[in-house]
Amino acid sequence: MLQYLILQLCDTATSYCHYGNSHCEAQLMPLPILEKAVLWAMKEDLSVQVVYPDYALPQEYREVIDRVDHTDIVSSHSDLKDVAQVVVVDDWDELQDISFAKDAVYVLRTTLTSFYKRYEELTSVLQQVSRLNVVFLDVEHFTDADATVYGKALDFLAKDIEQLYVNGGQVQLNLLTDRMMLNKMNNCSAGETNVTLAPDGRFYVCPAFYNESNGYSIGSLDEGLDVKNAQLYKLDHAPICRHCDAYHCKRCIWLNRKTTLEVNTPSHEQCMMAHLERNASRLLLDALRKHGTFLPEQESITEIDYLDPFEKRKEWQ
């Protein structure tokens, strides 16, 4: 069931996820389309997430957006960075200069190589934020050889989080704490629980499908939503994911299509990373419980001997 509408306000709106946005020329969503979209979201009872460009919007845009409950997603270069709920950072050097707000979520978009070089810099960030999401721009380049260094980085960050909790602090890091708190799949669910409206007045599965030259639209405000083969975006039609317990995994539909040409079939790389995170979360949960009661309603995460559920396909019923 549809729950969220993502409004990409301009072609140059910040990316907050795996996809890149190569648009250089601003093309702002026309005000009448924005007004119509806000009305549609209200009628459909959807939560709205607004993705902004870095330049300041005309005042009438703010007034229309404020008609509906919404979450603002901006880049760290936006004038709205001190009031937005989600702030996206694309540059590790900038992390040192940000005045973090405890009530905002920060998204760090990074390549794997930069993460391996600089993950220790996240120690001080984790002490200042309530939640940090690390999003990788090149998941498809993750190799078996990366598994060791990625696992080492996760272990390092897990120690930071353990220390913070022991000292009475709290922080969420998507790579390590999300899985600890989940009992079932909590994926991105683009195309199922959320869709994106782009500046052209058309719906897309997510902003990545608008920003990529080979993306496709799934209807428009005028014609309504038209998701072809809608079942393919659902977990019960995902032949590998439905056997998986890396519940925090984004299960990125765009990455799936890019790497396997199927929206419901993930690449080995996406699964390996999610399972390394799952396994590090298991150890972190166990470590935290040695200090006292922690998430008592949660079951322990079981130990497994694979990094890709596809390896276990012969055991599926």
Contacts with ligand SF4, residue ranges (CB under 6 A): 240-241, 244, 246, 249, 251, 266, 270-271, 274-275, 309
Find the shortest distance in angstroms from Cβ 277 to ligand SF4.
9
Smaller CB separation from ligand SF4, 116 or 310 = 310
Burial (CB < 10 A; 0-12, 13-18, 19+), residue 26, is: middle
Query: Dihedrals φ, ψ of 211, to 5°?
Result: -75, -20
Task: In whole angstroms, give the CA distance from residue 236 to residue 244.
Answer: 11
Is the Cβ–Cβ distance between 253 and 190 less than 8 Å?
Answer: yes
Smaller CB separation from ligand SF4, 61 or 233 = 233
Helices (H), the chain: 31-43, 59-65, 92-95, 112-118, 122-128, 146-166, 174-177, 207-211, 253-260, 268-289
Find the shortest distance in angstroms from Cβ 274 to ligand SF4.
4
Find the shortest distance in angstroms from Cβ 311 to ligand SF4.
11
| Residues near 63 by beta carbon (within 8 Å), at least 6 away in sequence | none
Task: In whole angstroms, give the CA distance from residue 101 to residue 81.
Answer: 10
Smaller CB separation from ligand SF4, 23 or 312 = 312
Smaller CB separation from ligand SF4, 202 or 268 = 268
Find the shortest distance in angstroms from Cβ 210 to ligand SF4.
22
Smaller CB separation from ligand SF4, 164 or 182 = 182
| Residues near 207 by beta carbon (within 8 Å), at least 6 away in sequence | 6, 8, 13, 15, 17, 19, 21, 51, 196, 198
Find the shortest distance in angstroms from Cβ 186 to ligand SF4.
10
Find the shortest distance in angstroms from Cβ 26 to ligand SF4.
34
Q: Which amino acid is at 230?
A: A
Smaller CB separation from ligand SF4, 109 or 275 = 275
Query: Dihedrals φ, ψ of 283, to 5°?
Result: -65, -35
Find the shortest distance in angstroms from Cβ 239 to ligand SF4.
9
Classify 182 in phi/psi space as left (phi over 0), alpha (psi -120 to 50) or beta.
beta
Smaller CB separation from ligand SF4, 65 or 249 = 249
